[in-house]
Amino acid sequence: MTGDARRALTRLLNAFENHFDIARDGDEADDAALEAAELALRDAFFTYDDILFTQLGVELPFDILDEIDEDDYDEDDEDYDDEDEDEDDDFIEVDD
């Protein structure tokens, strides 16, 4: 992807401003306009992120995840923390 990082940043900031202006109307916000602003914001963010990395070798300090694909979701992942707690219960302290 080619592009100017400064221009991509400006586009991202404008997308944030536009999204805020629509969202601030609350329940009276036009759903179609809000959805369009969300899509524009998402596109501007990922464009900026890509240009920043490819041109400057810099990553943003946070991760943005796309929607969770239910096929990738493993129910056993929920129990991961519980398994760690169970391991502690198996430990028997012995006095020397």
Angle at 20 between CA 16 and CA 25, to 5 degrees: 160
Q: What is the pTM of this model?
A: 0.62
Is the alpha carbon torsion for 80, 85, 90, 91 positive or negative?
positive
The pLDDT tens digits of the residues spanning 16-52 come to 999 999 999 887 778 899 999 999 999 999 999 999 9
How many other β-carbons are positioned within 10 Å of the β-carbon of residue 9?
A: 15
Q: Which residue has the tokens 């096929």?
A: 71
CB atoms within 10 A of CB 34: 14
pLDDT per position as a tens digit, 2-16: 579 999 999 999 999
